[in-house]
Amino acid sequence: MAIRERLSGNEAVAYAIRQINPDVMPAFPITPSTEIPQYVANDMANGKIDTEFIHVESEHSAMSAAIGAAAAGARVVTATSSCGMALMWEELYVAASDRLPVVLALVNRALSGPININADHSDSMGARDSGWIQIYAESNQEVYDNFLQAYPIAEHEAVRLPVMICQDGFITSHGVENILLLEDEKVREFVGEYCPAHYLLNADEPMAVGPYAVSAYYMETKRAQREAMIRAKRVILETAERFARLTGRKYGFFEEYRLEDADYAIVIIGSAAGTCKAAVDEIRSATGKKVGLLKIRVFRPFPEEELAMALRDKKAVAVLDRSEMFAAAGGPLGAEVRAALYSVKSRTEFVNYFYGLGGRDITVEDFKEVYRKLEELSKTHEVRDMYAYIGLRE
Amino acid sequence: MAEMETTYNFKEVMGRKERLAPGHRMCAGCGGTVAVRAVLRALRPEDRAVVGNATGCLEVSSFMYPYTAYEDSYIHNAFENAGATLSGVETAYRVLQKKGKVKENYKFITFGGDGGTYDIGFQSLSGAMERGHDMVYVCYDNGAYMNTGTQRSSATPQFADTTTTPAGTVSDGKVQVRKDLTAIMAEHHIPYAAQTTFTANFKDLHEKAQKAIYTPGAAFLNVMSPCPRGWGYDASELMNICKLAVETCYWPLYEVADGKWILNYKPKNKLPVEDFLRPQKRFRHLFAPGRENLIALFQAEVDKRWEDLQGRCG
């Protein structure tokens, strides 16, 4: 029987960490992820968990120590946000290149400057090319469920890549919601024991980690990472299936909400999907217009083909980005979805919006307006403002 | 504290199996590899080790894929994080040992040049030492960023001619004096901090490495490791340069064990520092006419630090 509780997103992650009982947690506090190491430290102080905390002096050292511990053969977790992850940047690439299954609980927050502590995706989107698997959540339940699936994906012999489990700062990290939790035994059975194939502390096989690879070898290491990322797609789905058998909760690369028969679709990542669903329901019941939503769960590996097939026949698609990339063009999600549609020769109308930067609210009315503009676009075939900001103070 | 060897047996120590295999690509006459071999020789042959390494000459020359020169497990991560990286390894060891997953006895030693230690890796080093991981951080101090071609570091002595502080018509070389990292690390109140270099029989370095490795908790070892290319001396002169550094009191041999400052060697006749400076091309400009005062300034700094150290060592 599942345990009914009310938890914030940060509490849900900390609860999952206690259940998984990883070996090592190096972490440095940063709003809004600070509570996660605090809760874990509290569990340690009360003997509820065997994890060793490393009180590092920075996030760069947090990821450096995570890499050292993972290379040594330990199961590792860390948590951060925003500038904390920016300081880890160099190390994110090293963790992926060293093929270490580190799990990072990322509580998304806008990057400085100006300094801002609220949600947007500029931190994780900036790290989208670092070689990490990225899984996003709409709700606290999804954060918890995604976190439980992180280690089976990361540690799978066909993958061996680091995973970041992302949630929106404050919106889910601090918002308390009803949640269904698994029993500890079930979690431990689902996640399993970590038995690395190669590690520094294997007395039978000393190993060297982190070589200097000249141009005769470097490219092959990148290809190997790419192959692992491709294989991760299968492992992510298999893990989701196993999770569904355990909980009844189904996950894929993305969620299609009233999308199948929809003419107009919004593509979005994270907590704002909940607001968008309300708009979809209201429009459908009030007008009968066929509107739907595609909510990305897995951004890396990018489910290009699956996503394109789900959107190819829509009359118009709007992709909403919660981070700028200053291309003087689209946002990261917009650019990739648009490229995916091109790959299936889709003629669907397309528009890219920016919303929610630095925690700016997006409302049901805002989403209704996007759907209204999509309908207009499908008739005029004329994109007036390809990269408009939603909710901007003009 | 683990039992130490009571007497230094040169023949036995030098006869130990090398833990840094030949075939790496470090320069002839490089102090870095001499330091690594000497430190690793202080491991009990039956003990296992994980060797860490900051990015630098040593790393790019001793672990070039697919070849490693290390007999032990080894990890390089990046330039500025050798302290943090090895603290992760050491923590993993304690957990896995507690869980019965690792049964062998491991020691943890990481090497960094002065760039990776005094400068870019200083924060990571300070954090690792303050947290008290059971590990040794060894700085092979060659007094500049040698891997990228002799740019000045905070370990570079004043007036040294480097590629970013070149001596010229209006420049005397590096403006600032050296950072005293050994003292800074001792002020972390870690169980053991020491500085050494290559003496004729390697006794000082061997004993300090042994204490650093086998004293429980965090230890720091600063090994002056000359660089023939950056300092400008003939490769065969390595040992002589080290001797002059010690005999002029430019690089005193001392240790700080459990807060007690101990001077390990006091020259009978303290040589003038120009004896140490003269054989090195990086100081050649100091001997040009009209720059005599610079050597006097250098000597004054050496004297001041030597007095201060003697005071601390009682």
DSSP labels, A1-43: -PEEEEEEHHHHHHHHHHHH--SEEE----TTTTHHHHHHHHH
Between B48, B63, B88, which is nearest A212 by CB?
Answer: B63
pLDDT for the residue numbered B1: 44
pLDDT at B40 exceeding the cut of 50: yes
Question: For chain B, what are the domain ranges?
Answer: 10-312
* pLDDT of res. A384: 87
- The answer to whether the beta carbons of residues A194 and A155 sit under 8 Å apart is yes
Judged by CB atoms closer than 8 Å, whether chains meet at B75 and A54 is answered as no
CATH topology of domain A3-247: Rossmann fold (3.40.50)
Say how far apart CA B17 and CA A150 lie, in whole Å.
44
Q: Which of B48, B52, B84 sits opposite A61 (nearest CB)?
A: B84
Q: Which pLDDT band, with edges at 50, 70 and 90, does B163 fall under?
A: very high
The closest of B229, B282, B232, B274 to B250, measured between CA atoms, is B274
What is the CATH number that goes with domain B10-312?
3.40.50.970
pLDDT band at B4 (very low <50, low <70, confident <90, very high): low
Interhelix angle A184-191/A140-154, nearest 10 degrees = 40
Under DSSP, the state recorded for A353 is E
What percent of chain A is predicted at pLDDT more than 70?
Answer: 100
Identify the pLDDT of residue A394.
84
- Chain B residues 170-199 with a CB less than 8 Å from chain A: none
Fold observed for domain A254-380: Rossmann fold (3.40.50)
Q: Name the residue type at position A390.
A: I
Q: Chain B residues with CB inside 8 Å of A213's CB?
A: 64-65
Beta-strand (E) ranges in A258-313? 264-269, 291-296, 298-300
**Interior/surface letters A11-39, b for 16+ CB within 10 angstroms, e for the rest:** bbbbbbbbbbbbbbbbbbebbbbbbbbeb
Average pLDDT rounded to a whole number, residues A141-161: 98
- What H or E segment, with its residue span, contains residue A85? helix A82-97
CB contact under 8 A, A72 and B59: no
Q: Give the global pTM.
A: 0.97
- Extended beta strands in chain A, E state: 3-8, 24-26, 52-54, 77-80, 103-108, 133-136, 163-168, 176-181, 208-209, 254-257, 264-269, 291-296, 298-300, 316-321, 349-354
| CA distances (Å), origin B202, targets A192, A196, A225, A337, B214 | 50, 40, 45, 64, 18
Tell me what the pLDDT averaged over chain A comes to.
97
Residue A111 has pLDDT above 80, yes or no: yes
Query: pLDDT value at position B7?
Result: 86
Q: Across chain B, what does the average pLDDT equal?
A: 96
ipTM exceeds 0.95: yes
Q: Give residues with Cβ within 8 angstroms of B185, minimum separation 6.
A: B125, B129, B193, B220, B222
pLDDT-derived band at B3 (thresholds 50, 70, 90) equals low
Which chain A residue has its CA at the smallest distance from B74's CA? A208
Q: Per DSSP, what are the bridge partners of residue A389?
A: A354
pLDDT by residue (tens digit) across A260-282? 999 999 999 999 999 999 999 99
pLDDT at residue A393, as a whole number: 93
Sign of CA dihedral A231, A234, A238, A240: positive
Mark yes or no for CB contact A206/B73 under 8 Å.
yes
* Contacts with A22 (C-beta within 8 Å, 6 or more apart), sequence order: A51, A74, A75, A76, A77, A103
User: What is the percentage of chain B residues whose pLDDT exceeds 70?
Assistant: 98
| pLDDT tens digits for range A345-393 | 999 999 999 999 999 999 999 999 999 999 999 999 999 888 999 999 9
Q: Do B63 and A211 touch (CB under 8 A)?
A: yes
**Is there a contact between A355 and A321 (Cβ–Cβ < 8 Å)?**
yes
User: Residue A61 is nearest to which of B50, B72, B81, comparing CB atoms?
Assistant: B81
- Mutation to test the B interface, candidates A25, A55, A56, most B Cβ within 10 Å: A56
Q: Which residues on chain B are in Cβ contact (under 8 Å) with A74?
A: 91-92, 95-96
* pLDDT tens per residue across span B53-93: 999 999 999 999 999 999 999 999 999 999 999 999 999 99
Preceding peptide of A113 cis, ω within 30°: yes
Residue in chain B closest to A97 (alpha carbons) equals B77
pLDDT-derived band at B5 (thresholds 50, 70, 90) equals low
| Tokens 């050597």 -> residue | B295
**CA–CA distance, B8 with A162 (Å, rounded to integer):** 47
Mean pLDDT of B262-272: 98
Spell out the domain ranges in chain A. 3-247, 254-380
User: Does A207 sit within 8 Å of B73, measured CB to CB?
Assistant: yes
Please answer yes or no on whether A94 and B77 come within 8 Å at the CB atom. yes
- State whether A64 and B124 contact (CB < 8 Å): yes
pLDDT in tens, B206-219: 999 999 999 999 99
Beta-carbon contacts of residue B217 (< 8 Å; ≥ 6 apart): B132, B133, B134, B190, B191, B192
Do A3-247 and A254-380 share a fold? yes
Say if the Cβ atoms of B84 and A56 lie within 8 Å.
yes
Q: What's the whole-number mean pLDDT along residues B110-139?
A: 98
Q: What residue of B is the nearest CA neighbor of A196?
A: B101
Does B81 reach chain A within 8 Å, measured CB to CB?
yes
How close B313 comes to chain A (CA, Å)?
Answer: 31
- Bridge partner residues of B196 (DSSP): B223
Closest to B160 (Cα-Cα) out of B150, B169, B170 = B150
